Each structure stands twice: as structure tokens, then as C-alpha cells.
Structure 1
Amino acid sequence: MSDIKLTLVVACALIDADRRVLIAQRPAGKAMAGLWEFPGGKLEPGERPEATLIRELHEEIGITVKEACLAPLTFASHAYDDFHLLMPLYICRRWEGQVIAREGQNLAWVRANKLRDYPMPPADIPLIPYLTDLLM
């Protein structure tokens, strides 16, 4: 067996009152720049996925989320060339504050059946049917 680097990233599908999902465009200079993804990020050592999301959602888009408002929906497992990504996807319908782009990224509120209109990293694409089933 080869030593494959396993990367654990957690993502969140924020769902607004109109049943739209928030996606963010990866900024220039980052890997996969220009592609759209669900907000979230890498776990810090010793950090639980829910704590990561609470921290990342505050850092990236300025909102405050309570752990009780995060519900696991599904996960992605995707083999990239140089690492394997494992990504739990949570949904969140309640938060405090206004969604704002704090890291220079573009944001879009999108209906689930329109998510495929936005180019996404390969790991994110298999998550779309779960959101479509949930929201349509």
C-alpha cells in the first residue's frame, strides 16, 4: 500500500429562508481558483468538525453559528492526484449576523437545481444530489 495523505475538510451548506444554498468562489492564488464550493475548511489539530465549521464560517463569511444548528447531511470521499479528501457536509438553516465575503471571495445564493451551473471541485459535485433531494 502506498502512503496516501488523507485530508479532512468540513463543509457547510447554508440554507436561507428561500431554500437557496450559499456557495463561495475560490479566490485567485488558491488551489482550484475560480471554482465554487461550500464554505468550510480544514480541521486544526484536536478540533472537532463542528468547531471547525463554527470557526471557519465566522472567519470566511462573518456569521455566528451554534453547534445545535449544524446537522450532518452526507460526506464526500475523493481521490485527488496527491491526496485523498474526506469531507463531511453539514447543513445549517439558522445563524446570527449577515453573510459577507471577508476573504475577497465571491458569494452566491443558488437554488439546489442550479448548483451544477457553477463549476465546482470534483469532490463537491457528488454532494449536489443530496441538496437537491433535500430542497426540491
Structure 2
Amino acid sequence: MKTVLVAAVALVDKDGRVLLARRPAHKSMGGLWEFPGGKVEAGERPETALIRELKEELGLDVAESCLAPLTFASHAYDDFHLLMPLYVCRRWQGQPAGLEGQELAWVRPLKLRDYPMPPADVPLIPHLIDLL
């Protein structure tokens, strides 16, 4: 089974809310809410991938020094194994916008479970609740 490395980030605003993005309906797990991020390309570092993905998907400029590793998910899906480091970021330039048509929501940590998420994302929620 192949392992896929995906980097994700919990963007936290000044009110302690976390940004979630809804996967487009035509993608796998479409309609589910997730932490922004994306696949780490060959030869790319997770931090570099996050900076690239946040620019492409949300129009945000993030400095690597503002990405703090928090925890990770390791989840076996039917056709691949997902390894996903989760970072926390409280500082960025720009206003988040769904540049790929995705819906965005700022969510209080205790309300994160109200949003249906891919199975790998769910175990990350308690870490964010503890942090925030």
C-alpha cells in the first residue's frame, strides 16, 4: 500500500477560531470539511508544500517561521495510507478566499465535530481543543 504525505494547517484567527475548507463535490470525499493543505510533492518539504498550497487555494502568504508543528495523523484508507502532519498558524498576509471554489468556515474548536470530516482529520480535533 502506498503512503501519501499531505501537510495540513489549522489557521487560527484572533478570536481562536479555526479555518475549515469544504472539499469540492467532484473530488474524492467531496462535501467533507478539512484543514487546508495538500499533497507534498517529491523533493518538497511539508512546510514548503503548505506555503504553496495556502497561496494557491486561499490566496494567503505565510512565512515558514509562522508554521508550528502540532501533531500528525496516520490513517489507512482503502487504497493508500495517509501520513498528515498538522501545523498551527496564527499569522498570515491576506484574507482567506476559496480560490478553487471551496466553501470556507471559521469554527470554534468545540464546534469542529459538528462539521463532517474525512476520517484522518477527526483525531486531530482533540489536539486543537487542548491547544486553544
| TM-score w.r.t. length of structure 2 | 0.99
Task: Return the offset for 1:32.
Answer: 0.2
Aligned residue runs from structure 1 range 61-100, under 5 A: 61-100=58-97
The structural deviation recorded for 1:18 is 0.2
Q: Distance in 2 between matches of 1:14 and 1:50?
A: 14
TM-score by length of 1: 0.96
Cα distance in structure 2, aligned partners of 1:56 and 1:39 = 8
* 1:39 is aligned to 2:36: yes
Aligned pairs (5 A) from 1:1-136: 4-135=1-132
Secondary structure, in 3 states, of the residue corresponding to 2:73? strand
3-state SS of paired residue (1:8): strand
Percent identity at matched positions?
A: 73
The unaligned stretches of length 5 or more in structure 1 are none
Deviation at 1:45, TM superposition (A): 1.2
- Structure-1 separation of matches of 2:99 and 2:69: 25
Instruction: Give deviations 1:47-66, integer Å, cap 9, x for gaps.
Output: 00000000000000000000
SS in 1 for 2:110: helix
Partner Cα distance (1:28, 1:79) in 2:
22
Q: Which has the larger radius of gyration?
A: 1
* Structure 1 letter corresponding to 2:45: R
Equivalent position SS for 2:55: helix
Instruction: Count residues in correspondence.
Output: 132
Letter in 2 for 1:113: L
Question: Which structure 1 residue ranges, 4+ long, deviate > 3 Å from structure 2?
Answer: none
